[in-house]
């Protein structure tokens, strides 16, 4: 009788390959830069033991990186899903000055000099400067909700809180994160899918900003040139009311920015808003349209609209700007008074996300669809080409 051989089965899978581990790491994005950590040079080493234990060393951009725990968790989870991995350890180190310089240059596309990317001839980002004549017309509320609505529709959106003295965008958007600096570049925090930067992120507590014109210009320039925005579809700038230094600086730094005028229905506000929009004639900027905010209060008992601030202010502004500019300036929408809009601003929860079917939420979403759905392209943009004189 022939001998019987007993073969012991083993449950130990083969060790994973380094390629498989690095492929998994390529699915991990830096939470602030929103690019794979493998593309950013953040993976220092990958060591794989025979028993399937994997050790990954990841570079942080700065020692006090606020996202260190998020990066650690995401790396561990991604590698753990690779077949054959039995355990994962993640060690964090900090980039050297030279590595940070290389990263900053890479993010700028190899450009060492800082420049405003949205002002370049090839930029496809639609830039909207949200302006008003008077304060208190809800300009920041409109800005935040338009940004959140467009981001919810899948667009890549950024907001610059250019109202240096009256900054309020971070609270309204629910952005409680802090920017991170990599060399001379600033990584903006995100909230509700929107990247945002504000002077309030750099001042202690609720301290006032007491600056004059040149400092305001430099702050705005840094927000536009030194912040790493990535490839945005839309950038919104929440301007201070009036036609002061910031409005002029926007025209100089981002001449292709289009003006979105916010007003209330009352005639006094409309007259001032028309002056704020008319600055576009002097700066050769386009006015994309007018938004009428607080356009009536729906009665909670009978749904009849109560015209608290009068009627027709938005159309008055649009008609006046159409005459001034010689073009057709439309009224993009009218937003009724809604307590949920105010509550959302106080709680950092935009009404377009929490109550999209409410009267205010629906009106804001419709406006966002109009300006966010515009074709992204080079049509109407300066190509920087000078015709040659043949004679």
Give the mean model confidence (pLDDT) for residues 168-187: 84
Is residue 54 within 8 A of residue 67, CB to CB? The reply is no
> Is the dihedral angle over the CA atoms 252, 255, 260, 266 positive or is it negative?
positive
- Residues 127, 32 share a domain: no
Q: Is the pTM of this model over 0.75?
A: no
pLDDT confidence tier of residue 378, bands split at 50, 70 and 90: very low
Q: pLDDT value at position 379? A: 46
pLDDT confidence tier of residue 361, bands split at 50, 70 and 90: very high
In a domain, 388, yes or no: no
CATH code at 48? 3.30.300.130
What angle is formed at CA 29 by the lines to CA 27 and CA 34, rounded to 5 degrees? 135
- Residues 150, 250 share a domain: yes
Give the mean model confidence (pLDDT) for residues 225-229: 88
Give the DSSP letter string of 8-30. Answer: PP---PPPPPHHHHHHHHTTPBP
Is residue 56 within 8 A of residue 18, CB to CB? The reply is no
Q: pLDDT value at position 386? A: 42
More confident call, 98 vs 233: 233
- Residues 91, 126 share a domain: no
Domain containing 34: what range? 18-107
Closest by alpha carbon to 130, among 263, 249, 275, 267? 263
61, pLDDT greater than 50: yes
Task: Tell me the residue ranges of DSSP E strands in 302-371.
Answer: 305-306, 331-335
Q: pLDDT value at position 149? A: 96
- Residues 123, 101 share a domain: no
CATH code at 163? 3.40.50.300
- Residues 69, 123 share a domain: no
Q: pLDDT value at position 391? A: 37
Question: pLDDT by residue (tens digit) across 17-47?
Answer: 899 999 999 999 988 788 898 988 889 999 9
Q: pLDDT value at position 370? A: 93
Q: What is the 3-state secondary structure (H, E, C) of 114-140?
A: CCCHHHCCCCCCEEEEEECCCCCCCHH
- Residues 146, 286 share a domain: yes
- Residues 162, 74 share a domain: no
Q: How many helices (H) and strands (E) does the chain have?
A: 12, 15
Q: What is the largest CA-CA distance in the chain?
A: 109
How far is 106 from 329, CA to CA, in rounded Å?
41
Q: Answer left, alpha or beta for residue 230, where phi above 0 means left and psi between -120 and 50 means alpha.
A: left
- Residues 180, 69 share a domain: no
Spatial neighbors of 118 by CB under 8 A, at least 6 apart, are 125, 127, 224, 232, 235, 254, 256, 257
Is residue 162 within 8 A of residue 136, CB to CB? The reply is no
3-class SS at 73?
Answer: helix
In a domain, 273, yes or no: yes
Chain centroid to CA 39: 22
* Beta bridge partner(s), residue 59: 93
Dihedral pair phi/psi, residue 103, rounded to 5°: -65, -45
> Is the dihedral angle over the CA atoms 347, 350, 351, 355 positive or is it negative?
negative
Give the mean model confidence (pLDDT) for residues 102-108: 76
Give the mean model confidence (pLDDT) for residues 107-118: 69
Is residue 290 within 8 A of residue 332, CB to CB? The reply is yes
What angle is formed at CA 107 by the lines to CA 102 and CA 113, rounded to 5 degrees? 75
4, pLDDT greater than 50: no
Chain centroid to CA 143: 11
Of 48-62, 226-240, 281-295, 367-381, minimum mean pLDDT range? 367-381
- Residues 175, 69 share a domain: no
More confident call, 230 vs 298: 230
- Residues 92, 215 share a domain: no
Q: Look at the chain and report how many structural domains it folds into.
A: 2
Q: pLDDT value at position 207? A: 60
- Residues 260, 139 share a domain: yes
Q: What share of the chain is helix, strand, coil (3-state, %, to 5)?
A: 35, 20, 45
286, pLDDT greater than 60: yes
- Residues 293, 203 share a domain: yes
Residue with tokens 């083969």: 14
How far is 131 from 98, CA to CA, in rounded Å?
41
In a domain, 191, yes or no: yes
Closest by alpha carbon to 286, among 294, 273, 277? 277
């Amino acid at each position: 009788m022939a001998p019987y051989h007993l073969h012991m089965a083993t449950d130990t899978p083969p060790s994973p390959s380094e390629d498989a581990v690095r492929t998994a790491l390529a699915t991990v994005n830096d939470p602030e830069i929103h690019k794979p950590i493998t593309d950013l040079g953040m993976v220092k080493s990958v060591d794989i033991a025979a028993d399937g234990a994997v050790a990954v060393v990841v570079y942080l951009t700065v020692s006090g990186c606020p996202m260190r725990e998020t990066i650690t968790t995401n790396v561990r989870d991604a590698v753990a899903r690779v077949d054959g991995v039995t355990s994962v350890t993640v060690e964090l180190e900090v980039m050297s000055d030279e590595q940070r310089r290389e990263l900053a240059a890479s993010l700028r596309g190899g450009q060492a000099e800082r420049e405003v990317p949205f002002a370049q001839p090839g930029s496809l980002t639609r830039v909207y400067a949200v302006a008003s004549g008077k304060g208190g017309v809800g300009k920041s509320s409109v800005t935040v909700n338009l940004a959140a609505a467009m981001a919810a529709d899948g667009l890549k959106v950024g907001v610059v809180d250019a109202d240096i003295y009256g900054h309020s965008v971070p609270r309204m958007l629910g952005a409680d994160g802090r920017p991170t600096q990599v060399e001379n570049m600033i990584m903006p925090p995100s909230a509700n899918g929107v990247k945002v930067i504000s002077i309030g992120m750099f001042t202690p507590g609720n301290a006032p900003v007491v600056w004059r014109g040149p400092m305001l210009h430099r702050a705005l320039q840094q927000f536009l040139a030194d912040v790493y925005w990535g490839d945005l579809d839309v950038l919104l700038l929440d301007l201070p009311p009036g036609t002061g230094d910031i409005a002029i600086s926007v025209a100089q730094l981002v001449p292709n920015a289009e003006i979105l005028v916010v007003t209330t229905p009352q005639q006094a506000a409309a007259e001032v808003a028309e002056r704020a929009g008319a600055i576009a004639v002097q700066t050769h900027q386009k006015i994309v349209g007018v938004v009428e905010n607080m356009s009536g209060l729906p009665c909670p008992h009978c749904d009849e609209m109560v015209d608290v601030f009068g009627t027709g202010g938005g159309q008055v502004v649009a008609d006046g700007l159409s005459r001034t500019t010689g073009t057709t300036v439309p009224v993009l929408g009218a937003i009724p008074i809604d307590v949920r809009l105010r509550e959302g601003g106080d709680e950092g929860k935009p009404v377009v996300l929490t109550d999209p079917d409410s009267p205010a939420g629906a009106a804001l979403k419709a406006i966002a669809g109009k300006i966010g759905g515009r074709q992204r392209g080079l049509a109407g943009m300066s190509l920087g080409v000078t015709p040659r004189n043949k004679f």
